[in-house]
Structure 1
């Protein structure tokens, strides 16, 4: 396959239109015209990421020209994973022809190829698809140097698909909702990490907290964006709770960072840049620990939301109880001495109702297994029967209503509780009256 390819060919590079005074996409002619035996050496870190700015910049430029070349990276495939492996092998070969780079960097190189390939497709879509209202206009205005018309028709069909349009719109919204932005420009995190390592007297790599501070602070002065500044303040507050000696420990800073920010995206380690996996950084045991800690953070957030939701539901229950009382039959219960004059039995039922609900909602979080949760639920039921002896059946129904409360939608629950109380519980309490 590679024998028939011309890397510098403008017809294959997809360079597209260029207007007077406008700089086109680089063709990396300085690299193309290098003597055959000359190669640029690329220094990399322990993760296989290029960490010297000059060689890294040249390599990224070369990767960009390959990603735009349809003979190496055809644009007709829906995503990078769908591109057949022989194409990727040819990409790696043409990179190795110009650069001295270890095979450990292959994951990083393919990650960058994927990124630049998607960027190129995005540029093509903006230039030749979005501008026009019909496919006929899109065909007419396509630069013949970009790709053959039959390949363009494949892309048009893909972009015209309603499902793909929805995904595209959602991706645009997600991009707009991104509130934190790094300020590193074209300089990679790996280059910045190496620079910070060399700045340290002990030559230790920076913590993720230190990396966040450096990469989100404008290099020419100025302030972080509001969301980054807020996050940095949270990190400093969390770190200040540690002893002065521990605050200087990179491991402690990483622990604070991990506990403060949201979990990493799948296969991605925040503050390390592309091509680095959680398994590489944390190892198997470290990765398990990290996932446990992230799970704890998620559970705390979920518990906080659940407690807030329970409080809102309790307010609604109190409101419904007041409405029922206004209807008259709750007052009749008090007159028949089924409830004490101060409403203590009613208070007990509400207490057990909420306690049982708490067990059913948060049981999976606080109990190690279902048996423990069921045992606690039965303890609550038994205690309720002991306290409310002659209302045992009523208490049983109320307790199971707590279960219904968690299985049924909230709106449904509050829609039917007045009718449930009046039609079922009232006859039981009054013996059919």
Structure 2
């Protein structure tokens, strides 16, 4: 466990006033890792539940007023130190806002998935503001979702997602975090092939999709020729 207890991370982070900060662990690609990294991303996600800090409208994150992004960045800087050798000072705000933008998009997507149904009327839904969402922001989101152009684009994206060749089973945990945890448990760097197995292979050893299974088979053949032991979800060798 890292510095902050995972069960009390909200309270611990809110108590930080800037006199002491957490050094955010990052990998060489600038992705949060380790226990404190696991806390950082969900904490950042809570911003999206505060419409005064991080409004959910307009739809596009680049269109959000810079004032809100400055306020969010201020909250981050008050609590975290970001390694300047990994993310340069001039790039740090943009780096953090990119992560927040993804989390904000996920929040909007989840609200739509929960509340928008084929039989739901726009006017009715607009009056049913979910908990922890500001009424005027909810109404604007509903109007956007029911707009003809948005509906057309949404249907097109559904078709594209249906053609996905690989579907990760890692949930909200990032590949960077999974790779870090696997290396930490092993006490040495892990092969990218083993990380692939972790997120694209079921516990019974089969790939999550035929395409993923084909990749796994090819990796097995390649590594078998090289004499490398390939391990997966169960932790047991398959070669």
TM category, shorter: 0.7 to 0.9
Among residues 17, 42, 49, which one is paired with 1:68 in the alignment? Answer: 49
Partners of 1:128 and 1:142 within 8 A in 2: no
Report what 2:126 is aligned to. Answer: 139
| Number of aligned positions between the proteins | 214
Gaps of 5+ in 1: 1-25, 249-433
Once the 2 structures are TM-superposed, how far is the Cα of residue 165 of structure 1 from its aligned partner? 0.4
Q: Does 1:234 align with 2:218?
A: yes
- More relative contact order, 1 or 2 (CA 8 Å, 6+ apart): 2
5 Å-filtered alignment, 1:3-18, equals: none
Partners of 2:16 and 2:79 within 8 A in 1: no
Normalization by structure 2: what TM-score? 0.72
Partners of 2:167 and 2:209 within 8 A in 1: no
Report what 1:214 is aligned to. Answer: 198
Q: Does 1:184 align with 2:165?
A: no
Aligned-partner SS, 2:15: coil
Q: Does 1:46 align with 2:31?
A: no
Q: 1:189 to 1:94 in 2, by over 3 A?
A: same
Aligned-partner SS, 1:97: helix
Report what 1:162 is aligned to. Answer: 148
5 Å-filtered alignment, 1:236-251, equals: 236-237=220-221, 244=226
Report what 1:77 is aligned to. Answer: 58
The separation in 2 between residues aligned to 1:132 and 1:32, in whole angstroms, is 42
The separation in 2 between residues aligned to 1:199 and 1:126, in whole angstroms, is 36
| Cα RMSD (Å) | 3.2
The separation in 2 between residues aligned to 1:111 and 1:166, in whole angstroms, is 26
Q: Does 1:124 align with 2:116?
A: no
Which of the two has higher C-alpha Rg?
1
The separation in 1 between residues aligned to 2:64 and 2:199, in whole angstroms, is 33
Partners of 2:22 and 2:79 within 8 A in 1: yes
Once the 2 structures are TM-superposed, how far is the Cα of residue 206 of structure 1 from its aligned partner? 4.1
Once the 2 structures are TM-superposed, how far is the Cα of residue 164 of structure 1 from its aligned partner? 0.9
The separation in 2 between residues aligned to 1:35 and 1:89, in whole angstroms, is 18
Q: 1:28 to 1:126 in 2, by over 3 A?
A: farther
Partners of 1:28 and 1:61 within 8 A in 2: no
Aligned-partner SS, 1:41: strand
Q: Does 1:225 align with 2:208?
A: yes
Q: 1:214 to 1:143 in 2, by over 3 A?
A: closer
Report what 1:59 is aligned to. Answer: 40
Q: 1:49 to 1:146 in 2, by over 3 A?
A: same
The separation in 2 between residues aligned to 1:102 and 1:38, in whole angstroms, is 15
Q: 1:172 to 1:196 in 2, by over 3 A?
A: same
Q: 1:97 to 1:170 in 2, by over 3 A?
A: same
Once the 2 structures are TM-superposed, how far is the Cα of residue 178 of structure 1 from its aligned partner? 2.4
The separation in 1 between residues aligned to 2:8 and 2:117, in whole angstroms, is 26
The separation in 2 between residues aligned to 1:230 and 1:49, in whole angstroms, is 29
Normalization by structure 1: what TM-score? 0.43
Gaps of 5+ in 2: 1-6, 229-239
